Amino acid sequence: MPVSATGSSLNNPRPGPPLWLLAELTYRCPLQCPYCSNPLDFAETRDELDTESWFRVLREAREMGAAQLGFSGGEPLVRPDLPELIAEARRLGYYTNLITSGIGLTEAKVAQFREAGLDHIQVSFQASDPELNDAVAGSKKAFRNKLAMARAVHEAGYPMVLNFVIHRHNIHQMDDIIRLCEELGADFVELATCQYYGWAFENREGLMPSADQLATAETKVNAHRERLAAAGSAMKLIFVTPDYYEERPKACMNGWGSLFLTVAPDGTALPCHSARILPIEFPSVRDQSVSSIWYDSPGFNRYRGDAWMPEPCRSCDEKDKDFGGCRCQAYLLTGDADNADPVCGKSPHHDRVLAARRAADHATAPLAELTYRNARNSRVFAKA
Ligand code: SF4
Ligand code: SF4
């Protein structure tokens, strides 16, 4: 029987410890990306965990075996206690990664984080030029700041790790994006096509690239890979295609509650950062230890093993590979999180994914018509 890296398997759902902790420090962010994965009603979240509570979460998860720690958000730089959190994480022995838009970063802060022991910084961009970047980000100076801070991160001796979220409005820029990454001396570049959760699901029709756009982009990325390899460049291009164009779903989070633990800004513990959309009561680190949340809470045990699976997953010989796909995607596309992920060609709901692909072939909506991720729009969703 295939056994996952964590030692759990479908027939033996007792998991190993969480190895990855994603600390979503805040939902506050100065940008307004229409593909943001934060919840639509993020503006209603007011009570962020305080510094001491985060210290406790970091300590408890580390005692269980967590080794990788991501600080994300929202924009984690808005938390004034970020240097303290980094220092504590370093003291506990985590490998730490800051996932940032770069807005709010300064050279002094980069130096402060270095001093505190931060291992890794990933800076995200919205496009290869200021006009489109700032139009997508909903902010006039975003591109200029990002460029300056990407350079500052590099000069501080960090590996240059850049992330571009790719969608139908910037996918034509693949050549320019890769050239910009070379100019910046990038070591790793993640070209991640949107995954349709949160605000991206709301804006899916206006974001999803067509099959032709995707094929052209992939051809370009492969050509650049060959060119870079021939030139002896060490820059790595990682192109993440949207699973809406696959016939089998991804093994979401390597299996529910098997490896990844997300703690949201208000202390809600989640098996992935999108899962709070599900009609499941997830526990809070304010009320329970991380260990009892991970091993004993109904929310984390809900989709472990395979006893929950209906057909066609139940009798499928691929269920050890993909665990039935993504529960959030099943819920968003079928209204029932127990269903097979409709990305799967065996799902009775696969037609919904095919319809989205067809819609992407004919979409014409301009960027300005997307619903931007901001507090005003979020409050409208919260009231609905
Ligand atoms: S995706 Fe954009 S809006 Fe969302 S947290 Fe990141 S930078 Fe902010
Ligand atoms: S039917 Fe279920 S288990 Fe089988 S491949 Fe599709 S999603 Fe995976």
| Confidence at residue 362, expressed as pLDDT on a 0 to 100 scale | 92
Inter-CA distances, 245 with 241, 355, 383, Å? 8, 11, 33
Give residue 306's Cα distance to chain centre: 25
| Confidence at residue 13, expressed as pLDDT on a 0 to 100 scale | 58
33 annotated ligand-binding residue:
yes
Residue whose CA lies nearest to ligand 2 atom number 6: 344
Report CA(247)–ligand 2 centroid distance (Å): 10
CA 189 – CA 178 distance, rounded (Å): 8
For residue 31 and ligand 1, the question of a CB distance below 6 A is answered with yes
Report CA(175)–ligand 1 centroid distance (Å): 24
For residue 38 and ligand 1, the question of a CB distance below 6 A is answered with yes
| Confidence at residue 123, expressed as pLDDT on a 0 to 100 scale | 97
Q: Which of 113, 114, 36 is nearest to 73 (CA)?
A: 36
| Cis amide leading into 305 (omega within 30) | no
**Ligand 2 test: best mutation among 243, 248, 323, most atoms within 8 Å of CB?**
248
* Count of residues in the chain: 384
- Ligand 2 atom closest to 312 (CA): 1
313 annotated ligand-binding residue:
no
> Are the C-beta atoms of 178 and 224 separated by less than 8 Å?
yes
> Are the C-beta atoms of 18 and 270 separated by less than 8 Å?
no
Q: Which of 311, 310, 312, 288 is nearest to 300 (CA)?
A: 288
Q: Which of 247, 263, 197 is nearest to 60 (CA)?
A: 263
| Confidence at residue 242, expressed as pLDDT on a 0 to 100 scale | 87
29 annotated ligand-binding residue:
yes
| Confidence at residue 11, expressed as pLDDT on a 0 to 100 scale | 55
- Ligand 2 pocket list (CB less than 6 A): 248-249, 312-313, 316, 318-319, 322, 324-325, 340-341, 344, 346
Angle value at C-alpha 270, between 12 and 50, nearest 5 degrees: 135
Nearest ligand to the C-alpha of residue 37?
1
- Ligand 2 atom closest to 313 (CA): 2
Report CA(12)–ligand 2 centroid distance (Å): 19
For residue 74 and ligand 1, the question of a CB distance below 6 A is answered with yes
> Are the C-beta atoms of 105 and 77 separated by less than 8 Å?
yes
| Confidence at residue 355, expressed as pLDDT on a 0 to 100 scale | 98
| Confidence at residue 8, expressed as pLDDT on a 0 to 100 scale | 47
Q: Average pLDDT for consecutive 10-residue bins of the chain (384 residues)? A: 42 81 97 97 93 98 98 97 98 98 96 97 97 95 94 95 97 98 96 96 96 97 98 96 94 95 98 96 98 97 95 97 97 98 98 97 92 96 92
Report CA(167)–ligand 2 centroid distance (Å): 27
Q: Which of 331, 37, 366 is nearest to 195 (CA)?
A: 37
